[in-house]
Amino acid sequence: MTYRGCPKRCTFCPETQVLNYRQFSSIITEIKDIIDKRKYQAIFFDDSIFTARSNGRKHDLEDLIRYLGHSRIEWGCQARMGDIDKKTLQLMEENGCTYIYFGIESADDRLFDDMQEGSHGDKIVETMRLLSNTGVRVGLSLCFSMAIPGAGKMREAKENVRKTINFIKELSDRCGNIVLINLDLATFYPGTKMTAVSEKRIDFTQPIIHHGYPCVFPL
Ligand code: SF4
């Protein structure tokens, strides 16, 4: 990881907004170690949004990407739909990036607007259009049973689930580079907006599995 935390604040996500950046030199030392001593052939950057830039970021993303290219190592990362532009994508591919994992969660615009800060469903289509012109493989994460803050509901409707599944089917048919679709269930975590609007009184000293999910509808 090149930093911990996430600059966004999605309603279901426990990732902290406190950002801790690593020194550029520390990242390079680790990469050298991975390549020269450990002889790994690929690296995955598990940063919440590897491509995020902010004034607080201690190193320059483009320098890091070029260093990876110079090292001739294959690599992948997590990124966010709509936050990755054509120029950055091209630079990443030219410098050894072969895989990007995105959390898209839902294809329902209202739900998506509620749970993902500053993002929108149509950005998925636009980003996938950019990606389909590259050789970069894509993994997608979906998150079902999301609560809807402000809607007085703690459940995702079946229609939303169907809409997301149909959307993903169409996207996979159109874009041949989708190699993974990961299915998740939203979960109550301490400190999230979704937990705050829940009427549940949750004891987080108990194992997380006992808290249930925002929605369990009959199948
Ligand atoms: S879901 Fe992703 S983008 Fe949203 S807060 Fe969590 S890590 Fe950040």
Measured distance CA(145)–CA(197) in Å, rounded: 15
For the stretch 128-143, pLDDT in tens is 999 998 999 999 999 8
**Of all atoms in ligand 1, which is nearest to the CA of residue 119?**
3
For ligand 1, whether the C-beta of 77 sits within 6 Å is no
Query: Residue 93 — pLDDT band, cuts 50, 70, 90?
Result: very high
User: Does the pLDDT value for residue 1 go beyond 90?
Assistant: yes
Query: pTM (2 decimals)?
Result: 0.89
Rounded distance, CA 18 to CA 132, Å?
Answer: 34
How many whole angstroms separate alpha carbon 150 and alpha carbon 60?
39
In a domain, 104, yes or no: yes
For the CA of 15, the closest atom of ligand 1 is 6
CA atoms within 13 A on the CB side of 56: 13
Nearest-angstrom CA–CA distance, 49 and 173: 26
* Overall domain count for the chain: 1
Atom from ligand 1 closest to the CA of residue 14: 6
Report if residue 218 sits inside a domain. Answer: no
13 lines ligand 1 (CB under 6 A): yes
* 192 in contact with ligand 1, CB cutoff 6 A: no
Q: 168-207 pLDDT, tens per residue?
A: 999 898 888 999 999 988 888 888 887 887 766 777 887 7
Q: Tell whether 73 is covered by a domain.
A: yes
Q: Measuring CA to CA, which residue among 65, 66, 124, 134 is closest to residue 99?
A: 134
Which tokens is 138 given?
A: 């894509």
Give the CATH number of the domain where residue 155 resides: 3.20.20.70
Range of the domain at 127: 3-211
For ligand 1, say whether the CB of 89 is within 6 Å of any of its atoms: no
pLDDT tens-digit series, residues 79-90: 998 889 999 999
Give a yes or no: residue 86 inside a domain.
yes
